[in-house]
Chain A
Amino acid sequence: MGCIESLSYEVVLQGASFKECREYIRANCREYRIVEPGFKIFEKPIIGIPPISIGLDGDTITFPFTKPCYGTFLLRVDDSEEAERIRREGKPG
């Protein structure tokens, strides 16, 4: 799996704070896992303020993606293998 920018993703939130992204995931995703900063999603270490929540709806993953100049985006990507790995390795929320 390559870099996140090359994935087919949907932007759920843009220009939101990290806290708002976390709250969105907890309120809107069927289940979520808690991971530490540096946990890799699509081979890229996740940036964020603990506790970092990653949303899961079947094979759909909802996660925060932070860039220095653009702030945090909440992205949604379909990937069954990655969803299963996150479900297995993350801490149940």
Chain B
Amino acid sequence: MTSVQGAAGKTAVLVLGCPQVPVQTGIALYLMSQLRKKGISSTIAGNRAARLLIEVSDPERHYISEVMDLDRYIADLADRKRQFDYHFVFIHNDAGVSYAATVQALTQKTVIALIYGEHFQDVAGEIEFPCEKVMAKAVHNPMPLKNKLDEVLPWVVSNL
């Protein structure tokens, strides 16, 4: 495992949205693998369907460590019970923007917003709070979003 200086030992949470857009699960697993290479452990927060898609896709748990319910994640942030170094929020609709705004307000950290889907530009336009946007028109093909992620991830883990 190679570690980025300053990033090793840090923690990330991947906040999943509704899994109706196919790229979400693949990108989440890819992101967890990339973070793991940098020495960052990842937690998944999502609703039941989003969590099960991840768990079924990684049955040996090569990339997954902790998996938690989305409502519990928000409640734990609100109650100051949990802290993470990085918050990656998957967004493809208005609800995703609301969750990202909530995470930003509760943590006062720069949220990394992964924005995708057919209407990614309209969705990105709704975001008025400070965050790092990683966005691409990705619905079935994950490559546009993966390529964007590859561009910014080294900067994100070194600077946020």
Query: Taking beta carbons and an 8 Å cutoff, which residues of A are in contact with B?
Result: 17-19, 36-38, 40, 44-50, 66-72
Contact = CB atoms under 8 A, between A and B. Distances in A.
26 contacts: A17-B94, A17-B126, A19-B126, A36-B105, A37-B102, A38-B77, A38-B78, A38-B102, A40-B78, A45-B74, A45-B77, A45-B78, A45-B102, A47-B74, A49-B98, A49-B128, A66-B98, A66-B99, A68-B17, A68-B70, A68-B96, A69-B18, A69-B49, A71-B93, A72-B95, A72-B98
Interface residues of B, number: 28
Contacts of A72: 94-95, 98
Q: Among the interface residues B47, B94, B97, B101, which one has the most CB atoms of the partner chain A within 10 A?
A: B94
Does more than half of chain A's interface fall in helix, strand or loop, or is it mixed? loop
Contacts of B106: 37-38
Interface of B: 16-18, 20, 46-47, 49-50, 70-71, 74-75, 77-78, 93-99, 101-102, 105-106, 126, 128-129
A38 B71 CA distance: 11
A63 to B, nearest CB: 13
A68 B94 contact: no
B101 A49 contact: yes
Contacts of B99: 47, 66, 68
